[in-house]
A and B are shown apart, each in its own frame.
Chain A
Amino acid sequence: MFRFQSLNEDCMLEEEDDGLIEDEDEIDQFNDDTFGAGAIDDDWQEEHKRLAELDERDELGAGLGFGGGGMGGDSDLSTSERPSSTRIPSSVVHPPPPSSLASLSFSSSSSRLPPSDVEDRVGEGDLAESLARLILDADPAIAGVGAAERPGLPPGSSGSGLSALRGLDQPRVLPQPSPILPPTQPHQHPQHQLPPGLPASGLPPSSMLSYQQQQHLLRRGTAPMGQMSSHSIWENSMGFGPVSVTPGLLTHMEDNPLMSIIKEVGHPKRAPQGRNDEDLSERAPPPRSSSPVIGSPPVRAVPIGTPPKQPMSHALNHQNSPLCRGPFPPRVGPVLSQIQRAQLLNSQVAGFPRGGPPPLLPGGGGFRPFFGGPPPPHGHRMGPPPPHGPPNHAPPLRHNTTHLHPQHRRMLTQRMQSRGGDRRPGMDRRSRDPYSNLMTQKEKEWVTKIQMMQLQSTDPYLDDYYYQNYYEKMEKRQEKEQDSSKKEHTTKLITPQVAKVEHTYRPVQFAGSLGKLTVSSVNNPRKMIDAVVTTRSDDEEKREKQVWNKRRQILYTVEKMYSLLLEVQDFEKCFVQAPEEDREALLEQHKSNTEQLCSSLREKEWDDRVSDEQCVMIMSVRKGKRLISRLLPFLPSMQAAAVVMAIARNLPALAKKDKQDQVLCWLVEPVSAVIQSLSSASLTDLLQELQGSEGQLATVLHNKFGVTLLYVILSEGERMQSSDPNCQLMDDNRWTELVFSVTRELLSVPSSSLSPPLFTPPNLLSLFSRYVDRQRLELLQDKLQISALSR
């Protein structure tokens, strides 16, 4: 940066000037190419004169910066020609006070003027200053915020420049990588911003810079400039550009939350109101026609993950102290309007219902995350208002707990109160911590809001199944414990649900045009490739994959059945919750589901019987076994019995397949339930099936489930016999014979191959005692370890 100063002496302006003059037209052409024909129509020379006049108003002692390339410099930019602008004595060039040195070097570096002639720099400074004045006048809102734009500041020099500025009270200067905006007054009005609406004027006057610089500027400036103009199209206030923060700034971060704001947000760029409308209308393409949800999401210059800025009160407080200290003109108006606006728009875009309607929650009365905002519409309130106090001074916890179960909320408040006392010692310590509360309240709320948003759901039973079920169970338990007199405690959980809005995409269509545009966006992604499913009909391949396909088929069937089963299982819950009108439909649905389930167990559509093969197939998979165990209670008794028969019949095969999983025992409970509802004839049949062919019983006994099943059957038979002496079990000899064979087998089978059952029904002994003699009974007792106590 100092090299500029040294070059100062060299004064190569004349040569540069000539070159520059020729190139000026080219530059202008560049302007138009880059920024469009409507980029700037004003006569910047006129503008400059005006600014220069403005400039006179300010007398600033400490050096001034002329952050290079002032606005709209004339080609003949020797100071003499513009007496009005030459207020600043040449002595300024050689910086006396450190601040001016700083500003000087900073500005000169930022201007990147090699041939910095004194006058030139001064002139530019004037320009810059006057321009800044104009802006200030035009829009005081811009005034306070952020930084002077520095064209194409090389980071190194900017860093040093900034650190040099440390001496200043107002470290509001931020270098801007995009060089286009014209330089402003350095330290005096560092918070001046140059409007994006003056892009061409933003280009340093050709005469001021060398050709290389201009080229450099252009090259570097094109992209951000384009961005800037596009920003101005959509949202003036949201035209935040990228900001590079230099290390020199960091020292200011602590005492300047404003800086941190700027760091995050960038420079709000805004055209002066005067030239806004015409320019923009010329430049702007038609606005996007898509709705926020269907079409593209609203444009955010600030990325979505950005936390909110400092709260307004916070910033306002800071505004008053530092700003008033510095050598700022009183004109510096409300610093934070930009920031406020930014916050607003940020929060709006983020769905925060502060200002306008939240764009993402259309449909009447959708649940709104309301965080410190107005309370949500009452219709979505959680049950009765919480028992602790009127809404006005309810504990802060309320806002976040709309969709908590009342039980849960009660627990929480209790917990809070109990812990309230403990906090005091810790809090004292924290209040003394100078670094505390770096994360502002707003930011905390913002994070919490995001977390709460994740809790919103359209279907809480689906999304938050375990939570809902847990509290339901607790509720039931409480109901049992308490008597019905204390009705107020058991409140229903009404979870606010986000309105499910159906969005159908209708392609955008312009009037009078043929066809429709397909605008692809995050919310409606466009199908790019038409993928056609072609099944290869290669016979060989088919044969090879048959086995594999079969398994897949099974899995697929299991999956489908499972979803049906889950729906059937949840039916009751839904039924209870559904309003009257929906109940019929639900019932219908339920019936059809059950039907489908049953039919899936059959192999062929017309065959009413439960297919053995199908059952076995399903049960060859672990999940299938689980499925059957869950399904059995829901099947009609006929079918359930048939399934159990099938199981018994194919037990050896099943046992073999289950070797790896060992989960057949899941079936014990539902099967027992089914067995207990069987008639005696069926029971006998079942026992017969279980015994099946020769040797089957041995296999059965070898398997845990088999043994258990056997015992259950026997136990059931015994129960039948003992309870009802006239039971038909003894009508034919089948039962007796079967039991005989069972006992025979039990005795003959070696103990090692006899698998211990899951449980031993107590009445087995009494059963056996009917059929076998004492000696055998004892043997059986020992073998099966049936205790005599059960007698």
Chain B
Amino acid sequence: MDKVCCCLEVDTHVIVTGVMSLYAHKKQQQHKMNYVPGTASLIDDIDKKHLVLLRDGRTLIGYLRSIDQFANLVFHQTVERIHVGKKFGDIPRGIFIVRGENVVLLGEIDMDKPCDTVLQQVSIEEILEEQRLQQQAKQETEKVKMQVLKDRGLSIPKADNLDEY
């Protein structure tokens, strides 16, 4: 094991830096597995393609590049995937930093597994249009429901940000 020891002089104090082992590089390979056994750690997920579902309902797919102790995630070559019915569309987003508390779930995408999905990919414009239509339809039904309830003298509070409370 080759080691390099560096001594630095800082003002009048001599601080011996940590032993730098040159095989740290090699270690990196070995460390692929299970950095924190006994607990869950995202370390092993780094540089792999992931799908993350956020609290606001967005789905992001990207390469997980970096994490921190709060599970804040840094995604690279991120794509936001919008699903409407059986169609989906990808919007390239670039680099995303997601605050850990907003993650609902996160899963690795298995690149090797054959993709046999019934979903059909469409263009961005189309999927956005579809999404808009879906939102519209939902709002319509919601409105009707509220009206009906109002007629009966009932009211249900809007579940807009229920998540927050």
Q: Which residues of A contact B (CB under 8 A)?
A: 141, 236-237, 273, 276, 305, 307, 311-313, 337, 340-341, 343-345, 347, 352, 354-356, 372-373, 395-397, 400-401, 404, 408-409, 412, 415-416, 419-420, 423, 425-427, 429-430, 433, 435-439, 441, 443-444, 447-448, 450-452, 455, 467
Contact = CB atoms under 8 A, between A and B. Distances in A.
B36 A451 contact: yes
Contacts of B48: 426, 430
Interface residues of B, number: 42
Given A236-B11, A354-B18, A400 B46 contact: no
Nearest to A417: B33
Contacts of B22: 313
A404 B37 contact: yes
Given A354-B17, A423-B32, A435-B63, A276 B38 contact: no
Contacts of A444: 31, 35, 43, 46
A313 B4 contact: yes
B38 A455 contact: yes
A545 B52 CA distance: 51
Q: Which 9 A-B pairs have the closest CB atoms?
A: A354-B18, A439-B66, A450-B69, A436-B47, A412-B37, A448-B35, A438-B65, A396-B31, A396-B30
Given A344-B8, A435-B76, 16 more contacts: A311-B24, A340-B6, A340-B8, A341-B10, A344-B18, A347-B18, A397-B34, A400-B35, A408-B37, A438-B65, A447-B43, A447-B69, A448-B43, A450-B69, A451-B36, A467-B38
A433 B111 CA distance: 14
B35 A340 contact: no
Interface in B1-29: 4, 6, 8, 10-11, 15-22, 24-25, 27-29
A355 B8 contact: no
Contacts of B47: 430, 433, 435-438
Interface of B: 4, 6, 8, 10-11, 15-22, 24-25, 27-39, 41, 43, 46-48, 63, 65-69, 76, 111-112
Contacts of B29: 427
A422 to B, nearest CB: 10
Contact of A443 (B30, B34, B63, B66): B66
A419 B30 CA distance: 12
B67 A439 contact: yes
A657 to B, nearest CB: 32
Task: Say what secondary structure dominates the interface of chain B.
Answer: loop
B100 to A, nearest CB: 12
A373 B18 CA distance: 8
Contact of B28 (A412, A433, A441): A441
A340 B17 contact: yes
Contacts of B6: 312, 340
14 contacts: A237-B10, A312-B6, A356-B15, A395-B30, A397-B33, A400-B36, A412-B34, A416-B33, A430-B48, A438-B47, A438-B65, A441-B24, A441-B28, A455-B39
A529 to B, nearest CB: 30
A236 B10 contact: yes
Contact of A311 (B20, B36, B43): B20
A341 B21 CA distance: 17
Nearest to A280: B11
Given A400-B37, A401-B37, A344 B15 contact: yes
Contacts of B8: 141, 337, 340-341, 344
A309 to B, nearest CB: 12
Nearest to B68: A447
B24 A429 contact: no
Nearest to A355: B15
A395 B20 CA distance: 18
A299 to B, nearest CB: 16
A50 B20 CA distance: 40
B13 to A, nearest CB: 9
Nearest to B63: A435
Contacts of A237: 10-11
Q: Which of A236, A404, A427, A436 has the most CB of B within 10 A?
A: A436
Nearest to B22: A313
A355 B65 CA distance: 30
A425 B113 CA distance: 13
A376 to B, nearest CB: 15
Contacts of B63: 433, 435
A632 B28 CA distance: 56
Contact of B66 (A312, A352, A412, A438): A438
Nearest to B43: A444
Contact of B37 (A337, A354, A409): A409
Given A311-B24, A355-B16, A455-B39, A439 B65 contact: yes
Nearest to A345: B15
B17 A344 contact: yes
A234 B69 CA distance: 28
A273 B22 CA distance: 32
A448 B112 contact: no
A60 B71 CA distance: 49
Contacts of B69: 305, 447, 450-451
Contact of B20 (A313, A337, A426): A313
Contacts of A425: 112
Contacts of A420: 33
B15 A341 contact: yes
Contact of A448 (B16, B36, B76): B36
A198 to B, nearest CB: 17
Given A341-B8, A423-B32, A312 B17 contact: yes
Nearest to B64: A439
A451 B16 contact: no
Contacts of A416: 33-34
Contacts of A372: 21, 24
Contacts of B41: 447-448, 451
A526 B27 CA distance: 47
Q: Identify which of A337, A401, A451 gathers the most chain B CB atoms within 10 Å of its CB.
A: A451
A344 B13 CA distance: 13
Given A337-B8, A340-B6, A355-B15, A441 B27 contact: yes
Given A355-B17, A441-B27, A435 B36 contact: no
A307 B68 contact: yes
A471 to B, nearest CB: 10
A15 B164 CA distance: 63
A311 B27 CA distance: 14
Contacts of B112: 425
The residue in A237, A312, A344, A447 that gathers the most chain B C-beta atoms within 10 A of its C-beta is A447
Nearest to A464: B38
B38 A408 contact: yes
Nearest to B38: A404
Contacts of B67: 439, 447
Contacts of B27: 396, 441
A437 B27 CA distance: 13
B24 to A, nearest CB: 6
A535 B28 CA distance: 64
A754 to B, nearest CB: 41
Nearest to A404: B38
B65 A435 contact: yes
A32 B10 CA distance: 28
